[in-house]
Structure 1
Amino acid sequence: MSEKIKLVKIIKYVFSSLWRIDKWRTILYLVVTNLRSLFSIPELYLNKLFIETLLAAIAAGSFTSYSQPLLLLVIVRFLVQLSESILSRIGYFLGYQLRLKYQASTDDFISDKLYQLEIPVIESAEFTTRFSRLRSNRYRGFNLANSVISIPSEIASIFSSLALIYILKPWMVLISLLFSLPKLFIRRKLAHNRFKNDEIIQQKYSTRNEVENLLNHQQEEVRTLGAFSFLKEKRRQIRDEINNLNLSSDKRMYLLGIFQEFLDQLFSRGFEIYLVINAILGRITFGDFQAASSALNRLTVSLGNVLNVIGDSMENQIYLSDLMWFIDHPVEPFFSHKNSVNLSPKNSLIKFNHVNFHYPGHQKFSLKNLNFEIKPAEKIALVGLNGAGKSTIVKLLCGFYKPTSGQVSFGSHNIFSYPPEVYRSHLAVLYQNFCYYSVSAKESIGLGNILKLEDFQAIQSVAKLTKIDSWIKSLPQQYQTPLATHYPNGVQPSGGQRQRIALARIMLKSAEVYILDEPTSQVDALAEEEIFSEVLDLLKDKTVIFISHRFCTVRRADRILLIEDGQITENESHEKLMAQNGTYARLFSLQAKSYQ
């Protein structure tokens, strides 16, 4: 697709967005912005009349006969300039309101579109890079619209200025245009160079931010490791690389800018000298000289503005190509939205049938010919070494990834036969890297079930279950206390407290299947024992799948699935696995020995 077509497509999208957001304010902004251009010729002509009338009064040696026309000209000039100023203020206010609405609409659109894309797409390297750049430049669309809207006003100002200049010397119009062409080339070149640099800089910013996070928010580990000097030097190196890239781009920009300014000044001063000579020789009046000088200044400014608009449009078009890429990105849902089947909560049989899986971009299989069933209300533990495939099983069960081959079914159908919101309403998942919400304690738990967000009794009940209620009650505002220190009276929960809150959150959800990935890894052994006893008792009629490296916890399961290199090598109860004296029994004994 050619760049012109891309630019037209982007402009069309931006204006259709503004039209959808606020049609009448967009129209009013367009009208007000361009009404100002109507004042250009009257203002220049009034200034010319004022100078000529004033000079005539001076030549006559009496202001009496000229006082009335001079006063009238002053009043009219005042009204014209005041009207232009008022329109300018109104335009700024309307533009500010539209900008805020456009930004909100853009953020909503990006979130909605991102929610429609599947996890493998979002986690791909190419998508991550382009989406990060998109997020940084997502508001450029309004800048582009603002530039396009101002074009008629600037063009009208240019033509009004050129008209006055043409009256004096037609050939000066051609010279004015020729001197303006290098500006367009300069802006075009700078935009492309800046975009290329940004692609490289964006990656370096990501690395720098990671180092900054370690230096600013991981003080305990940094000090313990003695890594402060190393990380500080690492940050300096990355910062220098970023600065050098920016400096290289800025140097070209400033040098080309100096050349552009030289051309502007050469033309302006040359034209002024020409006008002065003609005024002295009596070929033009001083009023013509003043009008032509003003027209020249206005022409220079307006030409500069138009070229800036064109340059900005080209620059914005380059950056907004990421937005158009995102808009056009195909949505290929895993789940069926048409001809979907009904899901009965009573039939919650889970089945992995000859499931093989490898992550996109990887050749090695994470899961190999996986075959197992989980009956309704059964308690299953997944155990194995790190990287064995336990969390991958959870991702496939949640429908975040599709098996490379084979099928995952829930009830009597493939999980992708159901609408995603219906299927996932039957799942409650505590992820190993669970989310931490900087909201009140009540909301942080209540997010587990939006329908119960205002049900304080239900929220407190699960908080008591996960042994976090007493801590919340000790806070300054109890359940209304913000769980972030950047809020007034906010607090920062410990790792164990966060995990209990997260566990309470999923316990609030009315699901058929509960998946707990390392649910008590950050709590002490005594608390773990109490929490698991109460959780399993409360969920006795539900299916529970939990992953844990603590074998004292997994022994409670009805069955234990040992995962080794993406395969199930053992699948029995704790007692039977111990009797078999296989890998599970060996791992259990090794861990038990460490507690002796």
Structure 2
Amino acid sequence: MNRRLGRAIARISYLPKTLDLVWTASKGWTIAWAILLVIQGLMPVAMVYLTRSVVDGLVAVMGAGATWQSAQPIIIPAAAMVCVLLLGGSLQTVMEWVRTAQSEFVHDHITTLIHQKSVAVDYAFYESSEYYDRLNRARSDASGQSLSLLENLGNGMQNSITLLAMAAILLPYGAWLAVVLLISALPSLYIILNLNRYYHRWWQGTTTERRRQEYYDALLTNSNTAAELRLFNLGSQFQSTYLKSRHRLRTEYLQILKVQSLGRFSATILGLFVFMAPLSWVVWRILQGKMTLGELALFFQAFQQSRGVMVSLLGNLGQIYKSSLFISNLFEFLELKPQIINPTQPLAIPKQLKQGISFQQVSFGYPGSDRPVLENFNLTIPAGKIVAIVGDNGAGKSTLIKLLCRFYDPESGCIQLDGIDIRDLSVIEYQRLITVLFQFPVSYYVTAAENIALGDWSATPSLDEIELAAKNAGIHEKIASLPQSYNAILGKLFPEGTELSGGQWQRLALARAFLRRAEIIILDEPTSAMDPWAEFDWLERFRTMANGRTAVVITHRFTLAMRADIIHVMRAGKIVESGSHDELLAQGGFYAQSWKEQMEVTSNVPV
């Protein structure tokens, strides 16, 4: 019980943060919203007072006869009631406008916060299923829950104002009425709190299943899978899996709604029975001649509205609690801390590599794995040289790239840049020294010019610089042939887009690398989508780009490796052979054997 209370208090503690978040996103709209709440909170009280005046006036008219003179006391309060009703309708329209504007600003602000955190967290988070669960929970209607919390808080304030004013009206009839009001509303509060906690526990527990459902939805609608779905007739299989997941979630959700509806209905019936006690007392007072019909109307409206407001207020508290359960997911996500951070006093970045890069006794294993990928690993990459690393799948080559890019830090040992541990350097400044050509470069569906400019976006390159990079990469002629040249949209996601081949996308990635002019070049199977003739041309261009710079090439293709200054053969996390192409052939080891086998398959490759 104490633990449950502690968790509830911890989640409610996010309320100030949520208010600050909404205030930061929409100050002016929030002020307007608060003013409207106060006005709307006082309007029911005004209607109750005016109702008593109108009813008592009608009784007097009925007793004295309907004349203009006798009807005058009714006209003013009746006209005032009409004005209050008109004002209420107008304010409701204004409130919807204010709430919509506030919603837009809060949604954009929260989305920005999630995007910023998604970029700031370590790369390791994206290789964790738990992270995707957290991201999904944070993104699931985070802005809607924030506004729901604020709206219920505002409604609670409005209801509190109304309730206090109504209490002042009822107080002359007996303080015991407040106790009856509270008792009639307590069942609703108890049911709402428990059902909200039950629903949140279910929603939290089905995060992975909901993500799996989204995954199958993406498989059925994404262009990347469209070809295989048709060729292997996988559509019905994925549809069936998706529907099974939906059936389970839908059934459980509807069951929760059923329990919620029955609980609320039971609470309403119980509250009505409690309400009968004060109503019977009022009728008895009227029969005794101790209350007027106007007082009956006032009491009935005041008590009925007070009870409704009390139930609504307690409901607001329940919804605030519910929203806080969901908001806690957002703030827990925003509180994630990266482990790859800048040192307290970063050392100066070498302007140009003189010694090179060295792995010294590096050991590393991925989180959650009990098997290290690298153990006491040593490797030297001399400055200004092209170093190729070849080996079979699972040898640890991709892990080297992640460590070198500082997506991860070694568990022991260190990676040095000209004798400086890279952990002593600014992360951003260090990564600006590096450009990477991945095996499957990202296809950015923007213009061709923007695609290349992304290689060094912060430098705001000119069109001449972009065209020069494209020419060096061998993609300029393709871009120039497009109807809008460098302003052409690439990819088929948007209207009038032009799709490129895999090899052309890789040349575009090479153009980004040319533009960046980084000191360290890392290539991960950069020619995997190219035919042998295109690869030969690409390699010549790469050597031009790499001239005077330090390059690391991860490849299975020996036609690429043979052009490196130094080749390292990697197996099971170890360097087993090193040397130039000719030296490794002379050794007659694993490299020589693999070269022979590959050349037998690709004997038509120009060398």
Query: Which residue, out of 194, 199, 202, partners 2:204?
Result: 199
Q: What is the match of residue 188 of structure 1?
A: 193
TM-score by length of 1: 0.92
**Offset at 1:319?**
1.7
Q: Deviations over 1:110-136 (max 9, x none)?
A: 333344433334533433322321121
Q: Distance in 1 between the 2:135 and 2:560 partners? A: 41
Asked whether the equivalents of residues 445 and 489 of structure 2 are also in contact (C-alpha less than 8 Å), the reply is yes
Q: Distance in 1 between the 2:220 and 2:374 partners? A: 38
Query: Which residue, out of 548, 551, 556, partners 1:544?
Result: 551
Query: Which residue, out of 48, 62, 68, partners 2:66?
Result: 62
Asked whether the equivalents of residues 462 and 507 of structure 1 are also in contact (C-alpha less than 8 Å), the reply is yes
| 1:353 counterpart SS class | strand
Asked whether the equivalents of residues 180 and 275 of structure 2 are also in contact (C-alpha less than 8 Å), the reply is no
Matched ranges for 1:103-142 at <5 A: 103-121=107-125, 123-139=127-143, 140-142=145-147
Cα distance 1:111–1:228, how it changes in 2: closer, same or farther (>3 A)? Answer: closer
Cα distance 1:16–1:216, how it changes in 2: closer, same or farther (>3 A)? Answer: closer
**Offset at 1:268?**
5.5
Aligned: 1:532 with 2:539: yes
Q: What is the match of residue 379 of structure 1?
A: 386
Asked whether the equivalents of residues 499 and 522 of structure 1 are also in contact (C-alpha less than 8 Å), the reply is yes
Deviates more, 1:231-240 or 1:565-574: 231-240
Asked whether the equivalents of residues 282 and 296 of structure 2 are also in contact (C-alpha less than 8 Å), the reply is yes
Q: Distance in 1 between the 2:58 and 2:500 partners? A: 77
Matched ranges for 1:405-416 at <5 A: 405-416=412-423
CA RMSD, Structure 1 to Structure 2 (Å): 2.6
Cα distance 1:428–1:331, how it changes in 2: closer, same or farther (>3 A)? Answer: closer
| 1:432 counterpart SS class | coil
Q: Distance in 1 between the 2:424 and 2:333 partners? A: 27
Q: What is the match of residue 219 of structure 1?
A: 226
**Offset at 1:155?**
0.9
Q: Distance in 2 between the 1:535 and 1:339 partners? A: 32
Q: What is the match of residue 76 of structure 2?
A: 72
Q: Deviations over 1:479-537 (max 9, x none)?
A: 22333545332344443443333332233212101111111212222222212211212
Q: What is the match of residue 147 of structure 1?
A: 152
Percent of residue pairs identical: 26
Asked whether the equivalents of residues 374 and 574 of structure 2 are also in contact (C-alpha less than 8 Å), the reply is yes
Q: What is the match of residue 396 of structure 2?
A: 389
| 1:231 counterpart SS class | helix
Tell me the matched-pair count: 596
Aligned: 1:457 with 2:464: yes
**Offset at 1:283?**
4.4
Deviates more, 1:127-136 or 1:583-592: 127-136
Q: Deviations over 1:181-240 (max 9, x none)?
A: 111111111122112211232111222222223233313212333333332322222222
Q: Distance in 1 between the 2:177 and 2:74 partners? A: 32
Query: Which residue, out of 514, 518, 525, partners 2:521?
Result: 514
Asked whether the equivalents of residues 343 and 418 of structure 1 are also in contact (C-alpha less than 8 Å), the reply is no
| 1:408 counterpart SS class | strand
Q: What is the match of residue 468 of structure 1?
A: 475
**Offset at 1:318?**
1.6
Q: Distance in 2 between the 1:462 and 1:510 partners? A: 10
Asked whether the equivalents of residues 34 and 150 of structure 1 are also in contact (C-alpha less than 8 Å), the reply is no
Asked whether the equivalents of residues 286 and 292 of structure 2 are also in contact (C-alpha less than 8 Å), the reply is yes
Q: What is the match of residue 26 of structure 1?
A: 30
**Offset at 1:87?**
4.0
Q: Distance in 2 between the 1:229 and 1:4 partners? A: 44
| 1:557 counterpart SS class | coil
Q: What is the match of residue 316 of structure 2?
A: 309
| 1:65 counterpart SS class | helix
Q: Distance in 2 between the 1:309 and 1:126 partners? A: 32
Cα distance 1:277–1:485, how it changes in 2: closer, same or farther (>3 A)? Answer: farther
Deviates more, 1:262-271 or 1:463-472: 262-271
Q: Deviations over 1:130-150 (max 9, x none)?
A: 232112142223322232233
| 2:13 counterpart SS class | helix
Asked whether the equivalents of residues 381 and 561 of structure 1 are also in contact (C-alpha less than 8 Å), the reply is yes
Q: Distance in 2 between the 1:186 and 1:434 partners? A: 54
Q: What is the match of residue 343 of structure 2?
A: 336
Letter in 2 for 1:176: L
Q: Distance in 1 between the 2:517 and 2:233 partners? A: 47
Q: What is the match of residue 238 of structure 1?
A: 245
Asked whether the equivalents of residues 346 and 426 of structure 2 are also in contact (C-alpha less than 8 Å), the reply is no
**Offset at 1:170?**
4.6
Q: Distance in 2 between the 1:205 and 1:458 partners? A: 46
**Offset at 1:424?**
0.8
Asked whether the equivalents of residues 355 and 369 of structure 1 are also in contact (C-alpha less than 8 Å), the reply is yes
Q: Distance in 2 between the 1:480 and 1:511 partners? A: 26
Letter in 1 for 2:213: R
| 1:526 counterpart SS class | helix
Q: Deviations over 1:96-117 (max 9, x none)?
A: 3333333322233333334443
